C-alpha cells in the first residue's frame, strides 16, 4: 500500500524567524504521527533554519522550485545540487510557476530531470484552468502536462504527482472528493500508458487546492488519493496538524 503524504507549500510566506516559529509549533505534533509522510516546503531562505529544527524528527523538508542547470552564471537561481544538500523533496511545475513565470512543458521537463539526477524527489504538479474544466477538457490538459513533463524520462525515481485544479488553488473552492478521485484515477491510468502498471500503482498522487481541516477527510477517504499538497492551511500549525491527523485516521480505516 502506498504511504500517504501531506506536503505543506508555504509559497512566498514567512520570514526566517516566522518560519522557525511555525515549524517549532508543528514539530512535536507532526512527529507523533507515524503512518503519513509529512513534508514542509518553506521558502529557500528558510530551508537551512527549518532543517536544523526538524533534525531527528520524522518531518521531511522540501523546496518549492529549482533551476535545472548545475551551476554557473544564472544570477538569482538555485541549483539542484544546492538543494540536494539541504532537502529531500522539490515541488516542480506548480501552476503559479506556470502562470507567473511562464514555465512551460519543456522547462518543467528539464527541472524534473535535473532533480532526479541528484536524487531529489520531485512533487510534479498538474492541473487544468477553470475554462478548461468547464469545457470538459480536464483529461486532455492533464494528459498533455504529464506527457510533456515526463518526456524521455525512463525512470521516475521517487516522484510524486500532485493534481491541483487551478480553479481550486487559494480560492476556497475545493474540488469534491469524488472529482479529485476520478481525475487522479485518470492520471494513474495515464502513467500506466506512459510507463507500466506497476510504476502507476507505486506512484503517489496527491490532491491540492483549498484543502483545509474542514474537508481533508473527504479527500483522504478516496482510494486513489494518496495525500495532499496544502497551501494556505499549511501556514497554521493547528490546521496542518489536523489535516495530517485526519489523513492518518483515514488511512487506518482504508487499510482495516
Give the active site residues: 94, 164
* Residue (of 209, 201, 172) closest to 94 by Cα position: 209
Is 103 a residue that touches ligand PGA (CB under 6 A)?
no
Number of residues that bind ligand PGA (CB under 6 A): 13
Quote the CA–CA distance of 109 and 14 in Å, as a whole number. Answer: 29
Is 229 a residue that touches ligand PGA (CB under 6 A)?
yes
Provide the minimum distance between the beta carbon of 69 and ligand PGA in the complex, in angstroms, as a whole number: 25
DSSP character string of 8-41: EE--S---HHHHHHHHHHHHHHHHT--SEEEEEE
- C-alpha grid cell, residue 59: 518531518
Distances in Å between the alpha carbon of 210 and those of 44, 115, 175, 240?
23, 27, 8, 12
Answer whether 15's CB lies under 8 Å from 241's CB.
no
Kindly tell me which of 51 and 236 has the beta carbon lying closer to ligand PGA: 236
Kindly tell me which of 114 and 235 has the beta carbon lying closer to ligand PGA: 235
According to CB under 6 A, which one of 4, 6, 9, 98 is a site residue for ligand PGA?
A: 9
Answer whether 224's CB lies under 8 Å from 213's CB.
no
Provide the minimum distance between the beta carbon of 172 and ligand PGA in the complex, in angstroms, as a whole number: 8
Is 231 a residue that touches ligand PGA (CB under 6 A)?
yes
According to CB under 6 A, which one of 14, 109, 138, 210 is a site residue for ligand PGA?
A: 210
The dihedral region occupied by 97, where left means phi > 0, alpha psi between -120 and 50, and beta the remainder, is: alpha
Kindly tell me which of 122 and 231 has the beta carbon lying closer to ligand PGA: 231
Answer whether 2's CB lies under 8 Å from 199's CB.
no
Provide the minimum distance between the beta carbon of 219 and ligand PGA in the complex, in angstroms, as a whole number: 11
Is 169 a residue that touches ligand PGA (CB under 6 A)?
yes
Is 122 a residue that touches ligand PGA (CB under 6 A)?
no
* Residue (of 89, 85, 107, 90) closest to 98 by Cα position: 107
Is 164 a residue that touches ligand PGA (CB under 6 A)?
yes
Is 232 a residue that touches ligand PGA (CB under 6 A)?
yes
Is 244 a residue that touches ligand PGA (CB under 6 A)?
no
Measured from each CB, the residue nearest to ligand PGA is 231
Kindly tell me which of 18 and 199 has the beta carbon lying closer to ligand PGA: 18
Kindly tell me which of 164 and 218 has the beta carbon lying closer to ligand PGA: 164
* Residue (of 200, 235, 251) closest to 36 by Cα position: 251
Contact residues: ligand PGA, CB under 6 A: 9, 164, 169-170, 208-211, 229-233
Amino acid at each position: 500500500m502506498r504511504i500517504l503524504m501531506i506536503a505543506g507549500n508555504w509559497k512566498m510566506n514567512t520570514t526566517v524567524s516566522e518560519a522557525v516559529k511555525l515549524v517549532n509549533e508543528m514539530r512535536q505534533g507532526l512527529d507523533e504521527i507515524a503512518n503519513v509522510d509529512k513534508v514542509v516546503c518553506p521558502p529557500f531562505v528558510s530551508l537551512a533554519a527549518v532543517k536544523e529544527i526538524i533534525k531527528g524528527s520524522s518531518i521531511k523538508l522540501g523546496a518549492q522550485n529549482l533551476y535545472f542547470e548545475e551551476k554557473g552564471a544564472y544570477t538569482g537561481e538555485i541549483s539542484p545540487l544546492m538543494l540536494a544538500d539541504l532537502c529531500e523533496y522539490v515541488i516542480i511545475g506548480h501552476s503559479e510557476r506556470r502562470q507567473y513565470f511562464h514555465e512551460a512543458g519543456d522547462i518543467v521537463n528539464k527541472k524534473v530531470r535535473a532533480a532526479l539526477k541528484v536524487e531529489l524527489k520531485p512533487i510534479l504538479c498538474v492541473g487544468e484552468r477553470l475554462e478548461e474544466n468547464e469545457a470538459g477538457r480536464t483529461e486532455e490538459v492533464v494528459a498533455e502536462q504529464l506527457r510533456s513533463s515526463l518526456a524521455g524520462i525512463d525512470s521516475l525515481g521517487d516522484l510524486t504527482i500532485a493534481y491541483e485544479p487551478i480553479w481550486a488553488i487559494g480560492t476556497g473552492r475545493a474540488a469534491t472528493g469524488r472529482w479529485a478521485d476520478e481525475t487522479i484515477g485518470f492520471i494513474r491510468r495515464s502513467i500506466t500508458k506512459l510507463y507500466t502498471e506497476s510504476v502507476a500503482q507505486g506512484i503517489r498522487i496527491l490532491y491540492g487546492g483549498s484543502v483545509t481541516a474542514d474537508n481533508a477527510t473527504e479527500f483522504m477517504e478516496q482510494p486513489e488519493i494518496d495525500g495532499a499538497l496544502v497551501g494556505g492551511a499549511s501556514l497554521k500549525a493547528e490546521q496542518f496538524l489536523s489535516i495530517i491527523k485526519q489523513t492518518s485516521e483515514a488511512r487506518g480505516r482504508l487499510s482495516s
